[in-house]
Amino acid sequence: MSATTFNRLTPYLFLAPALVIMVLALLYPLGYMVYGSFRDWDPSQALGESEFTGLANYVTLWNDPNFRESVAVTLKFAVSVVSIEMLIGVGLALLLDRNLRGMSVLRTLFILPMMIAPVVVGLVWRYMYHPTVGIFNNTLKSIGLEPVDWLGQHALLSVIIADIWQWTPFIFILSLAALQSLPRSALEAARIDGATGWQQIIHIKLPLMMPVLIVTGLLRLIDAFKVLEVILVMTEGGPGLSTEILALRISRTATEFRELGVAAAMSNYLLILLMLLTLLMLFYNRWQEYRAAKAKRAIEEAV
Amino acid sequence: MAAVSDNSQAQHPAFYAVVVMLIIMAVGPIALMFVNSFKLDVDIISGTSGLLFLPTIQNYETALCDVLPYELDHLDFCALKFGGAFINSLIIALVSTFFTLVIGCMAAYALVRFRFMGRDTASGTTLMVRMVPPAVLLVPVFGLWNNEFCISKTSWLGEIIRDNFGGRGDVCLAGTHSGIILIYIAMNLPFVIWILQSFIVQVPRQLEEAARMDGAGPFQVFFKVVLPLIKPGLAAAAIFTFRIAWNEYLLASALSDRDTKTVPILIVNNMSEFNVEWGVIMATGMLLAIPPIIFTLFASRQIITGMTAGAVKG
CA-to-CA dists, residue B280 to A116, A193, B50, B89, B247, angstroms: 18, 62, 18, 18, 19
Q: What is the pLDDT of residue B309?
A: 67
The model carries a pTM of: 0.85
pLDDT tier, B178 (very low <50, low <70, confident <90, very high otherwise): confident
Question: Which of chain B's residues have a Cβ under 8 Å away from the Cβ of A260?
Answer: 139, 142-143
Q: How far is A156 from A131, CA to CA, in rounded Å?
A: 16
Q: Which residue has the higher pLDDT, B158 or B306?
A: B306
B311 touches chain A (CB under 8 A): yes
Chain A, 122 to 141: residues with Cβ < 8 Å from chain B are 122-128, 132-133, 135, 138
Q: Which residues pair with A52 in a beta bridge?
A: A39
Complex confidence, ipTM: 0.83
d(CA B243, CA B261): 17
Q: Is A232 on the interface with B (CB under 8 A)?
A: yes
Q: Which residues of A touch B8 (CB under 8 A)?
A: none
CB atoms within 10 A of CB B6: 11
| Section A180-206 average pLDDT | 83
Instruction: Tell me the per-residue pLDDT of B51-85, one tens digit each, with 9 for 90 and over.
Output: 667 777 888 887 777 777 776 666 666 767 788 88
pLDDT in tens, A220-234: 888 888 888 889 888
pLDDT band at A14, cuts 50/70/90? Answer: confident
Rounded to whole angstroms, how far apart are CA atoms B260 and B88?
6
Peptide bond into A65 cis (omega under 30): no
Say if residues B278 and B267 touch (Cβ distance below 8 Å).
no
Q: In this predicted structure, what is the pLDDT of residue A84?
A: 94
- Strand B171-172 to B150-151 pairing: antiparallel
The answer to whether A234 faces chain B, any CB pair under 8 Å, is: no
pLDDT for A115-134, tens place per residue? 888 999 998 998 888 877 77
Strand partners, A51: A40
Q: Could A254 and B134 be called an inter-chain contact, meaning their C-beta atoms sit closer than 8 Å?
A: no
Question: Is the domain covering A66-258 a CATH 3.10.200.10 domain?
Answer: no
The residue of B30, B101, B136 whose CB has the most chain A CBs within 10 angstroms, and thus the best one to mutate to test that interface, is: B136
Instruction: Compute the average pLDDT of residues B194-217.
Output: 83
Chain A residues within 8 A of B135 when measuring between CB atoms: 226, 228, 246-248, 250-251, 267, 270
- Reported confidence tier of residue A41, pLDDT bands at 50, 70, 90: confident
What whole-number distance in Å separates Cα of residue A40 and Cα of residue A263? 11
Residue pair A135/B32 in contact (Cβ under 8 Å)? The answer is yes
Q: Is B304 on the interface with A (CB under 8 A)?
A: yes
The average pLDDT across A25-33 equals 87
Query: What is the mean pLDDT of the segment spanning B148-171?
Result: 68
* Cβ-defined contact of A18 to B104 (cutoff 8 Å): yes
Residue A116 Cα, gap to closest chain B Cα (Å): 5
Chain A contacts in chain B segment 169-198 (CB below 8 A): 182-183, 185-187, 189-190, 193
Q: Taking a contact as any Cβ pair under 8 Å apart, which residues of chain A between 65 and 84 contact chain B?
A: none
Q: Grade residue A80 by pLDDT with cuts at 50, 70 and 90.
A: very high
- Checking if the pLDDT of B50 tops 80, the result is no
Distance from CA of A205 to the nearest CA of B (A): 15
Phi-psi region of B215 (alpha: psi -120 to 50; beta: other; left: phi over 0): left
Q: Which stretch of A71-85, B160-174, B243-257 has the lowest confidence by average pLDDT?
A: B160-174
How close B179 comes to chain A (CA, Å)? 10
- With 90 as the cut, is the pLDDT of residue A236 above it? no
Average pLDDT over residues B45-50: 62
What does the pLDDT read at residue B9? 52
Looking at the partner chain, which of B27, B107, B190 has a beta carbon nearest the beta carbon of A14? B107
Mean pLDDT of all residues in A66-78: 90
Show residues of chain B in contact with A282, CB under 8 Å: 124, 127
How many residues appear in chain A?
303
Contacts A139 to B, Cβ<8 Å: none
Q: Is A215 in contact with B311 (Cβ distance < 8 A)?
A: yes
Residue B286 has pLDDT above 60, yes or no: yes
Label the pairing between strands A39-40 and A51-52. Answer: antiparallel
Angstrom distance (rounded) from CA B233 to CA B202? 11
Domain boundaries, chain A: 66-258
* Tally of CB atoms within 10 A around A234: 25
Exposure of A126 in the CB half-sphere (CA atoms within 13 A): 24
Average pLDDT value for residue range A163-184: 87
A-chain residues near B289 (CB < 8 A) = 116-117, 120
Q: What structural domains and CATH numbers belong to chain B?
A: 14-56 (no CATH), 83-313 (1.10.3720.10)
Flag whether residue A271 sits within 8 Å of chain B, measured between CB atoms: yes
Q: Please name the member of A103, A173, A270 whose beta carbon is closest to the beta carbon of B307.
A: A173
Alpha-carbon distance of B22 to B15, in angstroms, equals: 11
The reply to whether B136 touches chain A by the CB within 8 Å rule is yes
Q: Tally C-beta pairs within 8 A across A and B.
A: 291
**Average pLDDT score over chain B:** 79
Q: How many CA atoms lie within 13 A of B7 on its CB side?
A: 4
Mutate to test the interface with A, among B139, B152, B312 (most CBs of A within 10 A): B139
Q: Are A127 and B186 inside 8 Å of each other by CB?
A: no
Q: Which residues, 6 or more positions from A203, have their beta carbon under 8 angstroms from its beta carbon? A: A190, A195
Residue ranges with strand state E in chain B: 150-151, 171-172
Residues of A in contact with B185 (CB under 8 A): 21, 25
Q: How confident is the model at residue B7 (pLDDT cuts 50, 70, 90)?
A: very low
